[in-house]
Structure 1
Amino acid sequence: MGFTLRDHTADVAVEADGESLGGVFAAVADGLTAAMCDDPAETGDRFSFSVRAEGREALLFDYLDQLIYERDVRGVLPAAHEATVRREGDEWVVEASARGVPFADVDARDVKAVTYSEMRLAETDAGWEAYVVFDV
């Protein structure tokens, strides 16, 4: 289980799978990291955050958007992602963490934003799969 980067016109897409919903979220996030940096350093401290949304696809979008926000605010490349997803009443919640690799330790490319373009999140016999396009 993991991710694959896919060319997508002028953008980049991540195709990922995971045994659980949290696993596929983390795999897409790992793909986001790979789209920004070929070989992230093993430095940096872990940080945690949570995101809530009304649906699973919206939660995936907001989770990835939060990672881009954390990158910009903290000045780090989020890497080594972990995520747990659960339903709480009418909302979906992701509890997540990542290791923030200082920009000084990496040669990173810019990913501007996550998009809803062609986004797919589906349950399979083996777990979950996702496809997400990022604006570069």
Structure 2
Amino acid sequence: MTPLGAGHRFVPHTADLRIEAWAATRERCLAEAVAAMIDSLLDHPLPPPEFSVEWDLSGDRGEDQLVELLEEVIYRMEVSGCVPVATDITATSSGTHVRFDMAEIQDAEPCGAVPKAVSLHRIRLAPDSSGWRCAVTIDV
């Protein structure tokens, strides 16, 4: 992986979805984790965004923020039937700010199992020699 590279992949896991993501910055790594979750669920091309939602992550630890971020995706799918088709995460003086550009899930082509929850077992978000990496298991 190059220092500026960003991406994600799925790792084999019994009955669940295991995601690994990487990027040059912590914020981009978190956004890649969201993209991985959406890629596991919806086929491309994704529908165009219809509206945006913004908020600040509350956790101080990176792993807590990763859980909060992915749980927010699951919550919005369940409650409003919408998914983020683009994610922008920025570090601010007071924490971490998130913007989801949202689309109706019914406007997308499904390709995988619907996520139910984020597992707290073996979750990781940490710097490495090329930037940042995270790994998380999603219950489907």
TM-score range, shorter chain: 0.7 to 0.9
- Work out the CA distance in 2 between the residues paired with 1:131 and 1:121: 7
- Work out the CA distance in 1 between the residues paired with 2:90 and 2:29: 10
- Work out the CA distance in 2 between the residues paired with 1:47 and 1:87: 20
Q: Output aligned runs, 1:98-113, within 5 Å.
A: 98-108=100-110, 109-113=113-117
SS of residue in 1 equivalent to 2:114: coil
After the TM superposition, which of the residue ranges 45-54 and 115-124 deviates more from structure 2?
45-54
- Residue 120 of structure 1 corresponds to 124
Is the Cα–Cα contact under 8 Å of residues 122 and 129 in structure 1 kept in the other structure?
yes
Q: How many residues align?
A: 132
Q: Which of 2, 10, 13 is the aligned partner of 2:7?
A: 2
Identity value in percent = 24
Q: 1:65 corresponds to which letter in structure 2? A: E
Is the Cα–Cα contact under 8 Å of residues 10 and 17 in structure 2 kept in the other structure?
yes
Cα displacement string for residues 46-90 of structure 1 (whole angstroms, at most 9, x for unaligned residues): 3222221131111111111112112222211222211124574xx
- Work out the CA distance in 2 between the residues paired with 1:65 and 1:83: 15
- Residue 43 of structure 1 corresponds to 48
Q: Is 1:30 aligned to 2:35, yes or no?
A: yes
Is the Cα–Cα contact under 8 Å of residues 6 and 15 in structure 1 kept in the other structure?
yes
Q: 1:10 corresponds to which letter in structure 2? A: A
Deviation at 1:99, TM superposition (A): 2.1
- Work out the CA distance in 2 between the residues paired with 1:13 and 1:42: 25
* Unmatched segments (≥5 aa) in structure 1: none
Q: Is 1:59 aligned to 2:65, yes or no?
A: yes
* Unmatched segments (≥5 aa) in structure 2: 1-5
Measured on the aligned residues, the alpha-carbon RMSD in Å equals: 1.7
Q: 1:17 corresponds to which letter in structure 2? A: W
Name whichever structure is richer in strand by fraction: 1
- Work out the CA distance in 1 between the residues paired with 2:116 and 2:10: 16
Is the Cα–Cα contact under 8 Å of residues 63 and 94 in structure 1 kept in the other structure?
no
